[in-house]
Structure 1
Amino acid sequence: MNLPTLRQLEYLVALAETGHFGETARQCGVSQPALSKQVREVEGLLGLTLFERARPRVIVTPAGEDIVARARRVLAGARELVSAADAWSGARRGTLRLGVIPTIAPYGLPGLLAKLRELYPEVSYAIHELQTDVLLDQLRAGAVDLGLLAHPFDAAGLAGPDLVVEPFVLVAPKGHPLATRGALEPEEITGASLILMQDGHCLRDQAIEVCALAGPPPPTSVAAASVSTLVRMVESGLGATLLPASALPVEVRNNQGLVVRGFAKPPPGRTLTLQWRASSPHAQWFADIADVLRSHYLELNPTIPRVSGPKPRIIKAS
């Protein structure tokens, strides 16, 4: 029986992701006619039409959806075969692909890569900023090796330790009903209308959970695509929001007309974790990287500015 090559499977996956022969050819470094020939060869080999040649996009057929999903798993297995060989040889080289959710990346990554490069000088790093659901899909498919994200999520097929618990703080414009001084009691935000992230961001779900603990979830009519946008909305007087403490050194500065309040103890927060595929042969190496990440996050504490009420502090996850 003739089998598709790994390279042909890569073409199928790339074409399904881009939806364009031209873009796929550019990404894969081949000519468009050569790509088209390879795709048709696989279709002929399998006796299936995997792609509907519509214009201007290519549409994946139902059969194609199944075959592409299987191709992703085959490619992930092939990558793990190479990774297993590296693991047996003790090698720490190649490219490590780290997926990070957007509410972590700008605040937890600066300085981290320098530490990892010092420890593993023969390793290069590719950072993928992805929302939680996309990150999990790519992690399971082998498109990324590690995922730095926050609970809760579906951990089926994954492994990895919890790193730290990061507290939330409330940020409000001066003159806002919540812009008072002192520790913030959870019941103060009962029914308050907060500005939150757009759907799909775990920070939105975590903020709604905090509000639910205080009382009925607040009505929200304004949503932001990033933490920076969220803070700018608050700064313009549109309302208050909840932020992870690590964002404060970057997003909140003096003379912005903002009041930042820490929660009364114990503060609500989010648990950050590093995850990898349970089948990965690099579990010990990834666990070492998790230790570096945990220490890095704990070292951020001195950079967190003082707030009204208890100063937020990142702590080791139990």
Structure 2
Amino acid sequence: MSITLRQLSYFLALADARSFGGAAEKVHISQPALSMQIRELEAALNVALVERLPRGLHLTREGRELETRARRILAEISELEAAARRKALTGRLNLGVIPTVAPYLLPRALPNLRADDLTRDLRIREARTDDLMADLHSGRLDAVVVADLAYGSDLSATSLFEDRFLLAGSERRISAASAGMEALRPATLDPDQLLLLDEGHCLADQALEVCGLDRKRLRLDLGAASLSTLCGLVGQGVGLTFLPEIAVATESAAVPGIALRRFAEPEPSRRIVLVRRVTSDGEGWFARLAEILAEAGAALMNAARRAGV
């Protein structure tokens, strides 16, 4: 019995989910069908790959070894497919973007991307950093736009722009938060007033870091899923939040009651970068993609400053 790439992909889904139900949902097949594929894979290798437990499962020693090999095999297959796509006239480019960047940067950048190469089939995935990086490593994405983080030697990153954080809230809330201060700084904010995105969003982690806080100190932790939700709340006087500069134009227009204040120098910020695998063929498309995205980011920040923010 031969081992198939499909079996390897199902096994990796199981390794990630640590449950047959979760893995089956991830790969969009029934749980019995997934179980059968894993049993056939075990039979082909003549080893047990998982320890089935009442609550979840563990990989066996052989299962852990197969996980490492399978990730490498599927990444190389995806790399081969991606290289072939990019060389074709209608080559597909799979790009991932974090949710606190995508709604603001992409509408500005997409017209230039289309005009630059009308033959390219651009596919966008919006997801959290951990998911995007996993898809980049596996070869499902060609490049990702994320906030700067520590990278291994297997990745190549180019800086797009520095995105500063502003304090957002109602005029009354912001005035109260800055009363008596010579300079507005993140560390001086009352943590009871802060609203942040749900755990797992890198922007929430960055906001906590600049304030020197952990999430347990937040009294009003709504765990919102989007910046638009947070802006709608703080515009109505429910707390304060951090708003990236690239989001200012969009959210200010959508929430008339929102007020914004800049922090004193050095302003808290995040660096937005474009990342690809070192082994991928970035010739031609990567530098041009970075240029277009950087131009769009600069335009958004200039618009915020022209508006007097």
Provide TM-score, normalisation by structure 1.
0.77
Match of 1:126 in 2: 123
Distance of aligned partners of 1:156 and 1:243 in 2 relative to their CA distance in 1, 3 Å threshold: farther
Given residue 218 of structure 2, which amino acid in structure 1 is its aligned partner?
T
Gaps of 5+ in 2: none
The more displaced of 294-303 and 160-169 is: 294-303
The more displaced of 293-302 and 187-196 is: 187-196
Q: Does structure 1 residue 143 correspond to structure 2 residue 140?
A: yes
Distance of aligned partners of 1:82 and 1:135 in 2 relative to their CA distance in 1, 3 Å threshold: closer
Does the Cα contact within 8 Å between 1:191 and 1:217 map onto a contact in 2?
A: no
Please give the per-residue CA displacement for 1:164-184, whole angstroms capped at 9, x wherever unaligned. 011111112232254669x98
Gaps of 5+ in 1: 312-318
Distance of aligned partners of 1:70 and 1:186 in 2 relative to their CA distance in 1, 3 Å threshold: farther
2:143 and 2:16 map into 1 onto residues whose CA distance is 21
Across the aligned residues of Structure 1 and Structure 2, the Cα RMSD in angstroms comes to 3.5
Please give the per-residue CA displacement for 1:114-135, whole angstroms capped at 9, x wherever unaligned. 3223323332222222212222
Match of 1:294 in 2: 294
Paired residue total: 298
Given residue 171 of structure 2, which amino acid in structure 1 is its aligned partner?
K
Distance of aligned partners of 1:119 and 1:150 in 2 relative to their CA distance in 1, 3 Å threshold: same
Match of 1:9 in 2: 8
What is the aligned-residue identity percentage? 37
Does the Cα contact within 8 Å between 2:186 and 2:211 map onto a contact in 1?
A: no
> Tell me, what secondary structure is at the counterpart of 2:172?
coil
Q: Comparing both structures, which one devotes a greater share of its residues to helix?
A: 2
1:238 and 1:217 map into 2 onto residues whose CA distance is 20
Match of 1:102 in 2: 99
Distance of aligned partners of 1:131 and 1:85 in 2 relative to their CA distance in 1, 3 Å threshold: closer
1:188 and 1:287 map into 2 onto residues whose CA distance is 35
1:229 and 1:151 map into 2 onto residues whose CA distance is 24
Q: CA deviation at 1:280?
A: 0.9
Does the Cα contact within 8 Å between 2:100 and 2:203 map onto a contact in 1?
A: yes
Does the Cα contact within 8 Å between 2:174 and 2:240 map onto a contact in 1?
A: no
**Equivalent of 1:170, from 167, 171, 181?**
167
Please give the per-residue CA displacement for 1:81-120, whole angstroms capped at 9, x wherever unaligned. 2344566xx4463332211111111111114233223323
Q: CA deviation at 1:258?
A: 2.6
Match of 2:69 in 1: 70
Please give the per-residue CA displacement for 1:38-63, whole angstroms capped at 9, x wherever unaligned. 543322111123457789x9856444
Given residue 40 of structure 2, which amino acid in structure 1 is its aligned partner?
E
Does the Cα contact within 8 Å between 1:169 and 1:244 map onto a contact in 2?
A: yes
